[in-house]
Chain A
Amino acid sequence: MNTPLRRVALAVMVMIVALLANATYVQVFKADSLRNDPRNVRVLLDEYARQRGQISASGTVLASSVATDDRYKYLRTYPTDPLAYAPATGYYSMQYGSNGLEHAEDSVLNGSDNALFGRRLIDMISGRDPRGGNVVTTLNPVMQKVAYDQLTAKNLTGSVVAIEPSTGRVLTMVSTPSYDPNLLAGHDGAATQKTWEQLQQDPRQPMLNRAVSQTYPPGSTFKVIVTAAALSNGIAKPDDQFTAAPRITLPDTATTLENYNGSHCGPGDAQTASLTDAFKYSCNTAFAELGMKVGAAKLKDEANAFGIGTQHPNIPIPWADSTVGTIPDSAAMAQSSIGQRDVALTPLDNAVVAATIANGGVRMKPYLVDQLQAPDLSTLETTKPTSVGQAVTPQVATQVTNLMLESEKNTQGGTQPRSYQIASKTGTAEHGDDPRNTPPHAWYIAFAPAQNPKIAIAVIVENGGDRALAATGGSVAAPIARAVLDAGLGG
């Protein structure tokens, strides 16, 4: 009976080896795909059980994780003006993932970033629960709050983006209407789901970050780029004369293009207007003529130099690409010259245009994250300002600045005394299938102080805001921008 006994012992060992081999397959070779299976709730639970890092702005805490006594251990909260900061912070939800900085800097916030490896190791050895690193934004809390309050005071749909011209730091990023990310971060699944569905179904799209995700026709603010192209290529000088006609017929078409309200360009009734006056009074017909002189190729080159039509980097949140369109013929060229037809910019693009002029023609890459910090607040990484090229020469930048100073003087409210000078350009962009009867988007881009620019800003109010069809960039968008500039410049 001993021979079969030995064989049975062998069979037992074969069985154990089979179990070991199979366990190795499951726990080692198949482990990654099983671990990362979206239905494996453990990974999610672990992440929620870890203390996620803070998002802050100049010492103001925008997002932090507070300890709770439920099984997720920490609740993500947005303690300061959550609606004002939502476009920047984004949300962090158990059911719906994350966006904004919560998504873009997830690896630092959740502590899995390689830069935090050493600290993770120490935490592991010391038995402390691993914590996430912190993200310090470039946002200016005072400006952010003013910008948000300005837009929401009149229940406007729109966006304000301000950047520091010399560095590209994003000082303000507001989009309205907004949402409260606290309501998506809760641990009550049913309540979160209800909030999410309401937000998704809201026709005003509160979760859309208009500052970087939505493109609009720039309207007359685009004249800054047309002017820069003309000046840079020696096609025109500020004193050169262009048509002052209230309307022109576009080449090879029956389509007309007219000035705002069908008015003559500038005061008096001269047949022509200087480029300075055309810019100051934002004459469409003159710019159509100028644009056709510049031509599609040179306009596109100049637009590219300002970043329009190029592939945008993440800042680190995603930034939608802008475009000047195809411009197949002269008529299209004329329409594109006044920022209509296929030209489409995000508010951030337009803020970069103003900032580039303000910075003597040097375009800086915009960025929203100033520092990444370890859990103990020691600095892991500080973002260095990056130049992405000289869009125009300092001379051209100065010429355009002078034109923008003139424009500001001609803008509603632009002559009010203030402690600093603003260089600006307004825009009133038609859109929709029936542009004449659709309230226009009101634009305003500016920088200040004009001689020593600290802030460049772009404001858009969708669909005329509270002025409807009568809206202009000067009447609707400019006051908002000036309030934000006041907040940032202290007066």
Chain B
Amino acid sequence: MSAPAPPSAGAFPSPPGGFAPAPPPATRRNVELLLLGLAALITTVSLVLVEASQEQAITWEIAKLGAAYLALFGVAHLAVRRFAAFADPLLLPIAALLNGLGLVIIHRVDLAQAQDAAFASLPIPSPDANQQVLWTGLGMVVFVGLLIVLRDYRSLARYAYTLGLIGVIALALPALLPDRYSQVNGAKIWIRLPGFSVQPGEFAKIALIVFFAGVLVSKRDLFTGAGKHVFGMELPRMRDMGPVLLVWVVSVGVLVVEKDLGTSLLIFCTVLCMLYIATERVGWVAVGLLLLAIGFVFAYNVFGHVRVRVETWLHPFADYSNTGYQISQSLFGLATGGLAGTGLGSGRPSQVPFAKTDFIISAIGEELGLIGLSAILMLFCVFTIRGIRTALAIRDSFGKLLAAGLAFTIAIQVFVVVGGVTKLIPLTGLTTPFMSYGGSSLLANYVLLGLLIKVSDAARRPAPARKRVEPIVDASTQLLRKVEGGAA
């Protein structure tokens, strides 16, 4: 787990006479390209398997789709080569593979739903996979655009408060809008406009992570030093803690109003994690978990839907045909898949409601089995660990907190959604990053990926990168000097 020491000229003892200049560290871009090719291959083969077992015609179209997919991510790869040459070579291929497999599963559920509709003599729903391909393309545009526009991620720290405000407003907006502009399937988390809908919470999550990273870095000395002692813990002064608490309370409060416990839990845990990293105080985690417990007891007693969720979690089959139906079907699907799965295209994933969004993991567990599900979890695990490695390697505190927050939020999201559909924890409505159907989620996750790649580029960039820091030295905000001074 120990991170490699960041490359530094001073780390090498120079013999008399001196060394020739060390060769620049490998950019590992070719590894990334190779892995992208592998991801494209796995995705294409998966698609072929689905088409074969669903008795669709196997045509060159599939190969073209695979090639188009490779081309799409090839562009992303070129952008990384050009604008973030030293970035971690695993992040983009993992995202590409998850996205590709997600597309295949969405397409597979499309086929199943078309079959079901045909059987029931209902109109066949338009395939969501096509839409998702469009979103993937748009995701690439956003990703590449971010790499180009954001020359240095540290400039984001300047907009921390702005982004925090935007995040809070984005979170709160659906709650303020009338139901018909904001409610889908009972959750008031949308902004519905003619033509398209967005889930602002997905983007708010990233804005808030940037905000917390910025605020915690600028004030972290104050948090740990200037407060009162309570129960052996040092509490920060309220005026320092204020913005943090405010945003946190607002986001959690808004989410409770919107009945979106998943996002609430996600933001809460991410903030807690960042707070812990910034302050290095376990006490904060304890306080946070205590708050979480209090919040949970409160929600359980006040909100009927929370009680239903918990009840359904404990006894999924008690109200089988009603509240327990979805989780029961999910468990049936996972069990039917067993160790090796039914094979791609041979399961019955459409038995689970929302198999393309919240329950895409059930479809994977059914058709690819425990082996496939474990592989997906390992991809997420590697993705997160590489993100945390980036945080370990980067030298400025803002980058550390940003990378750690972004990586950890993926991990917690996976934990909440996978734990939910496998009955480890109560079910909350969350999407699986990069895999679930939905434009907001996909675009937001590509923004997240872009930021993470930017930070990792900086972390792995060799010494000459110091020159690139100069423009920041010119900047005269107190914050940025602190960033430099706070390098670990």
Interface mask (B330-350 → A, CB under 8 Å = 1, otherwise 0)? 011111111100000001100
Residues from chain A with Cβ under 8 Å of B52 in the complex: 127
* In the complex, chain A residues whose CB is within 8 Å of the CB of B339: 27-28
Question: Which of B338, B404, B411, B412 is the one whose CB lies under 8 Å from A5?
Answer: B404
Flag whether A240 is at the interface (Cβ < 8 A). no
Q: Which of B348, B385, B423 contacts A22 (CB 8 A)?
A: B423
B445: A residues at CB distance < 8 A = none
> Could you say which of B317, B338, B419 contacts A19, with CB atoms under 8 Å apart?
B419
A154 within 8 A of B: no
For window 399-417 of chain B, which residues contact chain A by CB distance below 8 Å? 400-401, 404, 407-408, 411-412, 414-415
Judge if A9 is at the interface, Cβ distance under 8 Å: yes
**Which residue of the partner chain, among A1, A35, A39, contacts B336 with CB atoms under 8 Å?**
A35
Residues of A within 8 A of B196 (CB): none
Is B465 part of the contact surface with A, judged by Cβ < 8 Å? no
Interface size on A, residues (CB 8 A): 39
A165 to B238, CA, bound (A): 101
Q: Judge if B231 is at the interface, Cβ distance under 8 Å.
A: no
Q: Which residues of A contact B336 (CB under 8 A)?
A: 31, 34-35, 40, 42-43
**CB nearest to B339 among chain A residues:** A28
Encoded as 1 (CB less than 8 Å from any B CB) or 0, chain A from 1 to 42 comes to: 111111011101101101110111011101111110101111
Which residues of B (43-57) have their CB < 8 Å from a CB of A? Answer: 52-53
Q: Select one of B119, B280, B333, B407 contacting A1, CB under 8 A.
A: B280
Taking a contact as CB atoms under 8 Å apart, the answer to whether B422 and A5 are in contact is no
Whether A15 lies near B411 (C-beta < 8 A) is yes
**A-B pairs, 8 with minimum CB distance:** A34-B335, A31-B335, A40-B332, A22-B424, A71-B119, A27-B370, A12-B411, A9-B388
Residue of A nearest to B340 (CB): A27
Choose one: B276, B278, B338, B423; the contact of A31 (CB below 8 Å): B338
Interface range on chain B (Cβ under 8 Å from partner): 35 or more
Please determine whether A12 and B419 come into contact, CB atoms closer than 8 angstroms: no
Tell whether A5 pairs with B373 under 8 Å between CB atoms, given A13-B381, A27-B339, A34-B332. no
Chain B residues within an 8 Å CB radius of A15: 411-412, 414-415
Dominant secondary structure at the B interface: helix
Pair B419/A35 contact, Cβ less than 8 Å = no
Could you tell me if A12 and B280 are in contact, using CB atoms closer than 8 angstroms? Answer: no
Q: Can you give 8 contacting A-B residue pairs, CB < 8 Å? A: A1-B278, A4-B276, A6-B392, A9-B384, A23-B370, A26-B423, A41-B332, A42-B348
B388 partner residues in chain A, CB cutoff 8 A? 5, 8-9, 12
- Closest-CB distance, B12 to chain A (whole angstroms): 22
Chain A nearest CB: distance from B344 CB in Å? 12
* Chain A contact residues: helix, strand, loop or mixed: helix
Question: Which residues of chain B come closer than 8 Å to A35, judged between CB atoms?
Answer: 332, 335-336, 338
- Decide if A23 touches B365 in the complex (CB within 8 Å): yes
Does B69 count as interface, using CB distance less than 8 angstroms?
no
Considering only residues 71-92 of chain A, those with a C-beta below 8 Å from chain B are 71
How far is B315's CA from A28's CA once the two chains are assembled, in angstroms? 20
Beta-carbon contact of A26 and B335 below 8 Å: yes
In the bound complex, residues from chain B placing their C-beta under 8 Å from that of A24 are 370
Residues on B with beta carbons closer than 8 Å to the beta carbon of A16: 377-378, 380-381, 411, 414-415
Contact A8 B415 (CB under 8 A): no
Residues of B within 8 A of A127 (CB): 52-53
Contact A23 B374 (CB under 8 A): yes
Is B391 interfacial (CB-CB < 8 Å)? yes
Q: Which residues does chain B contribute within 8 Å of A39, judged by CB atoms?
A: 317, 320, 328, 332
Q: Smallest distance from the beta carbon of B96 to chain A beta carbons, Å?
A: 21
A151 to B317, CA, bound (A): 50
Contacts of A197 in B (CB 8 A): none
Nearest residue, chain A, Cβ from B331: A34
B1: which A residues are within 8 A, CB to CB? 6, 9-10
Q: Interface of A with B (CB < 8 Å)?
A: 1-6, 8-10, 12-13, 15-16, 18-20, 22-24, 26-28, 30-35, 37, 39-43, 45-46, 70-71, 127
Chain A residues with CB under 8 Å of B277's CB are: 1, 4-5, 8
**A12 and chain B: residue at smallest CB distance:** B411
User: Interface centre among B3, B53, B370, B385, by most A CB within 10 Å?
Assistant: B370
**Bound Cα distance from A19 to B380, whole angstroms:** 12
Residues on the A chain within 8 Å of B115, using CB: 71
Q: Which A-chain residue is minimally distant from B321 (CB atoms)?
A: A39
B362 to chain A, nearest CB (A): 10
Docked Cα-Cα span, A30 to B419, in Å, equals: 16
In the assembled complex, which residues on chain A have CB atoms less than 8 Å from the CB atom of B334?
23, 26-27, 31, 34
Query: Bound complex: CA of A24 vs CA of B374, how far in Å?
Result: 9
Q: Which of B338, B374, B401, B408 contacts A12 (CB 8 A)?
A: B408
| A5 and B332 contacting across the interface, CB-CB below 8 Å | no
CB-CB < 8 A to A12: which residues of B? 381, 384-385, 388, 407-408, 411
Chain A residues, CB < 8 A from B412: 15
- Indicate if the CB atoms of B422 and A23 lie closer than 8 Å: yes
CB–CB B351/A41 < 8 A = yes
User: Considering only CB atoms, which chain A residue lies closest to B350 in the complex?
Assistant: A71
> Is residue B116 within 8 Å, beta carbon to beta carbon, of the partner chain?
yes
Complex CA gap A6/B336 in Å reads 38
Complex Cα spacing A39 to B321, Å:
10
Contacts of A19 in B (CB 8 A): 377, 414-415, 418-419, 422, 424
Q: Is B488 an interface residue (CB 8 A)?
A: yes
What is the distance, in angstroms, from B159's C-beta to the closest C-beta of chain A? 22
Given contacts A19-B377, A19-B424, contact A2 B3 (CB under 8 A): yes
